[in-house]
Every structure is written in structure tokens, then in C-alpha cells.
Amino acid sequence: MSVAPSNDDFTKRKLWGGRFTGSTDPIMHAFNESLSYDKRMWAQDIRGSQAYARALIGCQILTEEECDQIVKGLALVGEEWKNGTFQVQPDDEDIHTANERRLKELIGTVAGKLHTGRSRNDQVATDMRLWLMDEAQALAALLKEFIQVIVSRARAEIDALMPGYTHLQRAQPIRWSHLLLSHASYLVADYQRLLDLQPRISVLPLGSGPLAGNPFAGLDRDAIAKELGFETVGTNSMHGVSDRDFIAETLMWASLTMVHISKLAEDFIIYSSAEFGFVQLSDAYSTGSSIMPQKKNPDSLELLRGKSGRIFGDMAGFMMTLKGIPSTYNKDLQEDKEPLFDAVDTIRRSLQVATGVLSTMTIFPEKMRAALTPDMLATDLADYLVRKGIPFRETHHISGSAVRMSEERKCQLSDLTLEDLKTLSPAFEEDVVKVWSMEESVERRNATGGTSRRAVEEQCDRLEQLIASTSNKRVRVE
């Protein structure tokens, strides 16, 4: 004679336990569980479950009263998570089983109706998309703030001139602001890419069931999507439970954005060294040496540079997991959460630190200017002759000969006399002295995208317009 399970036995059952009679190996349980890290999605899991409960009224699975019980019970579960009083039990595998188990304890057997037609496969996909929709909005706001700090500095420090470098060799004079805005241009593209990604994140999987769809007539997936703030509804249930491309894309976006932050960090690490002395980090973003008291290390920038490798590792690892998975849900997909959570946490902190570094950094315009040398105007000398009607390939050779002459005489290029220059080309005239002005050199670069004052101000205007014209706001329906 069989004995019906007690209520306590029921609450301890795993969601998938009806087919099994033996207990799970404790090592396997620890290997299998994800609650230790997916509990951060508790709010999204509760929101999704509340929306699903309301949808079950239309399927005649729940009455209005039962739905009200479940929605209010889930709110109580959420309060426990929020207040830190939620008690995790040994059999809680993940955030979904933990919340449903606690709901059952609070409101009784009616809680068992909530999972009707729903699988953890579409539930976890919904939770992750909801979580990432919120996080993407926050990341876009941080990125926008970082860009605004850079543009603000570029406007305020537009008079500072410095060497521009190629191959880390002095090349041509530029405005310090022009360098700053080159980094802002990368970041604006990152900002736009993140916004472009959001519609592909905002696709509702709930209602896909384990893989074949929801079997109950009357389930209004469009209403669920509207309530939860999704832009669209997934149109293929097999795809809905297995698609993690939105995570791969987010990790790719994060990797590229961190490469750009790393490039910025590398520039300022170099420029903050004693050999350059162009910039100095504030004490808030520097550390000292344990043995050399004179040192001020740019640890914040070095960590930003290092974190880029970490995020790329998150992406590469997940792509290797993703590549060999057959159709629909497989447990391998549990490996999506930790790299995503780590990447989002890391890039959030990185953007905050980078913004702090840039907003508090001191520049030394006099040291920047002292690094400007007349040999950097060799191209300007060639351009001078172009304006006299000589083809550039010929003027380049003449300018190179002038550089060689100055090196042989161990003098600056600007120390060559008009008579010296005329031995190289009769086209040189008295007005050649204007070539040796650094201010004139940068102002001559007046085409769009150049380093003249007008062109730099135009860049500032354009970047501000770009980030102002795109909104990262997502309507969230509670």
C-alpha cells in the first residue's frame, strides 16, 4: 500500500524529481547548482513569474483570486531577498526552484499551479534577458557620462598643444583636446553599438515551454512582453529556449569597449611617466611603492588595461562552450551566467574608474609644449612648397634634404637660413618663417576632423549631438 507524500515531502522535491527514486550525489548537487550566482536575478525571476501568473488567468489555469495570491506571495519572497532574510535550503538548485519553494511555503499548494506550461528553460532565458536589459541601460548611462567628461575637458583645455605620435615617435603638433576626442570617438561607437544590441536582448522567450511552445490556449505572450518591457516576442520556441547570442554579443561588445579603454589607459600611463610628464593622476587613483617612496604608480590605469584581458577571456570561454551545443536547451548553457555577470561587473567598475581618472587628472601644458620640436614641422615645410606649385612628392624629398642638412649641422630645422633652404629649392622665400609656428601648424589642419580650434570645437559639438540624439532609456513596467 502506497503512502501519499506529506506536504513537507512535496516542498523538498526537486522540480524534476518525479521520475527519480534515488538521491543526488552531494558532489553532483554542488556541481549542478547555480543558486550561488544566479540568485542575483531574484528580482527578474519574480517579475517574470508575476507576469506569467497574470497570463495564466487567460488560460483559465488560475482564477483571479489564485493569481492575486501568487502575485502577492511572490512580492513577499522578493521582500525577503531585498531585506537579506531569504533562507536558502539545501535542495535549492537555482533561483527558480528557490523562489517557487518559498512561495509554496508562504501560500500553500496553489503555488504549484504557477509552473503550468512553463519550463525552467524559458524561465531562465527570460530572467537573463530581463537582467541584461536593466544592466545594458545602466552601462549605457555610464558610458555616456564618460564621453561627456572627455568632451568637457576637450572644450576647457583646447589651447594646450602637444606632440602627436606615430610608432611612439614625435610626428606632428596637435591639440591635447584632439587626442582626448580621438578616444571619445571610439567610445561613442561603443555607446551606439550597445544601443543597437538592446533590441536583440529585448526578445521575450517566456511561453516557449521546454522547447515546443506553451500548450494552453489563451496565453497572451504579447501581454506578457508588454508588462515586462520587452520590445518583441520570440517567434520560435526552440530558438527561444536555446538562444544565447545576445550574451555572446554583449561579451563581444564588452571586449571591444574594454580594448578602447585599455588604449586610453596606455596613452595616459605613458604620458604620466617622468620621461613625458604631460599628465598626473590624482592621489585617489594612484598608489605608492612598498619600497620606493618617490614613486606614484598609475595603478588605476594599469588595472583598466589588465581588465580588458579578463573580459576577453570571458567572451572566448563562453564562445567555446556555445559552439558545440546541439539544438534547444542543454545544461552547458548554465555556463552563460558567470562570464556574463563577471564581464558586466568588470566593465561597470572600469567605466566608473576611467571616468574618475579623467575627471580628476591634471595636465601640464608647458611640458607638452616643451616637447614640441621644429623637426615635427618637416611636413609643414613640404606643404609650404606645395603651395608654391611644386608637386608633393618632390617637396617631400626637398624637406627630407633639409632635415638631413640640420642633422649634419647639429642644429634645429628652424635654424636653417633662407640661403640654406634656397640651395635645396629656389621656391623658398622670406615667408617661410611662418612655417615654424606650432599654432599656425595646428590651425592649418582646419578640414573636418582636423586639429584646428574650429575643427576640434566641431568635433565636440558632433559628439555631444550624437549622444544627445540617442536615448538609452528603457520603459520598465512594474
In a 10 Å sphere around its CB, with 0-12 CB exposed, 13-18 middle and 19+ buried, how is residue 433 labelled? exposed
Active site (annotated) includes residue 397: no
Beta bridge partners of 165: 170
Give the 3-state DSSP-derived string for the chain, with helices as H, strands as E and coil as C. Answer: CCCCCCHHHHHHCCCCHHHCCCCCCHHHHHHHCCHHHHHHHHHHHHHHHHHHHHHHHHCCCCCHHHHHHHHHHHHHHHHHHHHCCCCCCCCCCCHHHHHHHHHHHHHCHHHHHCCCCCCHHHHHHHHHHHHHHHHHHHHHHHHHHHHHHHHHHHHHCCCCEEEEEECCEEEEEEEHHHHHHHHHHHHHHHHHHHHHHHHHHCEECCCCCCCCCCCCCCCCHHHHHHHHCCCEECCCHHHHHHCCHHHHHHHHHHHHHHHHHHHHHHHHHHHCCCCCCCEECCHHHCECCCCCCCCCECHHHHHHHHHHHHHHHHHHHHHHHHCCCCCCCCHHHHHHHHHHHHHHHHHHHHHHHHHHHHHHCEECHHHHHHCCCHHHHHHHHHHHHHCCCCCHHHHHHHHHHHHHHHHHHCCCHHHCCHHHHHCCCCCCCHHHHHHHCHHHHHHHCCCCCCCCHHHHHHHHHHHHHHHHHCCCCCCCCC
Query: What is the residue type of 390?
Result: I
CB of 201 closer than 8 Å to CB of 231: no
Grid cell of 260 as nine digits = 578602447
Active site (annotated) includes residue 471: no
Catalytic residue among 36, 273, 282, 289: 289
Catalytic residue among 6, 167, 290, 469: 167
The residue length of the chain stands at 478
Residue 6 to residue 76: CA distance in whole angstroms: 24
CB of 285 closer than 8 Å to CB of 360: yes
Query: What is the residue type of 320?
Result: M
| Residues with active-site annotation | 167, 289
